[in-house]
Amino acid sequence: MTATFAQNARFARRASRAERLARIDRLATLLDARFAIPFTKVRFGFDSLIGLAPGIGDAVTVGLSLYIVYQAHKIGAPKHLVVRMLGNVVIDGAIGAVPLAGDVFDVMFRANRRNVRILREHLERQAL
């Protein structure tokens, strides 16, 4: 019973900034760079794979990308940074919706990794 209470208490508390950043970093990696093409430096993730499903796939990946931006806002990213991150999501979603060429663009642009990097750089500058 004590272990269950301790587990529930852990979920009840708010996640720290570092925990949230680590969570969205893992999600961004899953979406943009989880897999590698053998014998190349090319990496891709579930964003590219899910995006192969016409229409709904791109909507799902944009939703996941917006979750990352939302978490950045909750962490304390300033408005101008959130707008910049949203711009990356819009670009990724718009071009990513083009069949095949959009999927190649997703592999190269990596909007989610880009957004986490922008947030991480901001937080590092803020810590100085």
Q: From CA 128, how far away is CA 31, in angstroms rounded?
A: 30
Q: How many residues does the chain have?
A: 128
pTM of the shown model: 0.86
pLDDT band for position 1 (50/70/90)? low
Q: Domain residues of the chain, as ranges?
A: 15-127
Least confident of 14-18, 44-48, 114-118: 14-18
The DSSP line for the chain is -HHHHHHHHHHHSPPPHHHHHHHHHHHHHHHHSSEE-TTSS-EE-HHHHHTTSTTHHHHHHHHHHHHHHHHHHHHT--HHHHHHHHHHHHHHHHHHTSTTHHHHHHHHH-HHHHHHHHHHHHHHHHH-
What pLDDT score was predicted for residue 20?
A: 94
As a whole number, mean pLDDT of residues 35-46 equals 96
